[in-house]
């Protein structure tokens, strides 16, 4: 009985729809397409966790990260979808790592986080390349924020990306006085630090130079017939002629050079 009623209702709805479409076509009015819309499937908080079959596994087989050459051939829509897939995967891995730490368990394959992060960094690199190419074609500029070399509070040079401020630099008296007039760069503490920092860099360079020179001396002592041209190419900062005349390079025999 219920099935017969359902068939009659469906027949009436179909006939009414057909007649309304026919009337619209005769009157010259645009027909409104009637399609069936379905919403996406809603998930609960378990989407932040891995599949249950992997909870007690000690080793999970996973693939490698996405390479730049593979991402460059994809469209912007595919990269957009892939970004959110990787973002969802990264959130899941962070949740599982935190859960394993709370339960004092070993998180299986922690390199998965590094692979996902590497893939996301590669996507950002590809998107930046496309943006730079687009802006160069349209405006002749890269579209990136300009980078200047400024002096920081310790008196060292560093790269600084320009950004917008609500107050210009010359009008910010608090910043100008503290940065230029009352110390920071011109203070005795900063000058002392910069002097000691330069001394440290000099000592590091001097030790590296002495270490290479001593290594070349031992090479000349052990291998007197070695190719000098290759030795100079390997150690361009070492005086080979001076190393030959040293006592450490002679050994217990008369050198051939």
Residue 82 DSSP symbol: H
Q: What is the pLDDT along the chain (257 residues), one digit of tens a residue?
A: 445 655 565 555 455 454 444 444 544 445 445 555 455 565 677 777 777 777 777 778 888 899 999 999 999 999 999 999 999 999 989 988 888 888 888 888 888 899 999 999 999 999 999 999 999 998 888 888 888 887 777 778 888 888 888 888 778 877 776 666 555 667 788 888 889 999 999 999 999 999 999 999 999 888 888 888 999 999 998 998 888 888 888 766 665 55
Contact 89, 55 (CB under 8 A): no
3-state helix, strand, coil in the chain (%, to 5): 60, 5, 40
pTM higher than the cut 0.95: no
Handedness of CA 9, 12, 16, 18 (dihedral sign): positive
- pLDDT tens per residue across span 124-163: 999 999 999 999 998 888 888 888 887 777 778 888 888 8
Strand pairing partners for 147? 161
Q: How far apart are CA 42 and CA 219, in angstroms?
A: 70
**Among candidate residues 112, 115, 119, the one with its CA nearest the CA of residue 96:** 112
Integer angstrom CA distances of residue 198 from 201, 209, 233: 5, 16, 28
Residue with tokens 């932040």: 48
Beta bridge partners of 182: none
Other Cβ atoms less than 10 A from the Cβ of 216: the count is 23
């Amino acid at each position: 009985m219920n099935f017969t009623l359902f068939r009659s209702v469906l027949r009436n709805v179909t006939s009414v729809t057909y007649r309304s479409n026919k009337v619209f076509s005769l009157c010259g009015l645009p027909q409104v397409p009637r399609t069936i819309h379905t919403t996406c499937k809603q998930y609960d908080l378990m989407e932040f966790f891995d599949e249950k079959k992997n909870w007690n596994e000690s080793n999970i087989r996973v693939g490698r990260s996405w390479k730049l050459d593979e991402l460059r051939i994809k469209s912007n829509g595919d990269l957009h979808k892939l970004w959110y897939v990787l973002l969802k995967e990264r959130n899941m891995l962070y949740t599982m790592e935190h859960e394993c730490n709370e339960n004092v368990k070993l998180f299986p394959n922690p390199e998965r986080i590094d692979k996902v992060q590497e893939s996301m960094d590669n996507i950002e690199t590809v998107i930046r390349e496309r943006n730079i190419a687009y802006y160069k074609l349209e405006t002749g500029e890269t579209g990136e924020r300009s980078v200047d070399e400024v002096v920081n509070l310790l008196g060292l040079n560093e790269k600084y990306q320009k950004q917008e401020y609500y107050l210009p630099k010359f009008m910010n008296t608090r910043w100008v006085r503290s940065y230029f007039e009352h110390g920071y760069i011109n203070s005795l503490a900063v000058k002392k630090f910069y002097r000691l920092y330069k001394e440290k860099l000099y000592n590091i360079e001097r030790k590296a130079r002495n270490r290479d020179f001593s290594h070349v001396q031992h090479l000349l002592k052990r291998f007197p017939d070695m190719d000098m041209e290759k030795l100079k190419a390997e150690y361009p900062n070492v005086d080979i002629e001076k190393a030959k005349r040293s006592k450490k390079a002679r050994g217990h025999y008369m050198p051939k050079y």
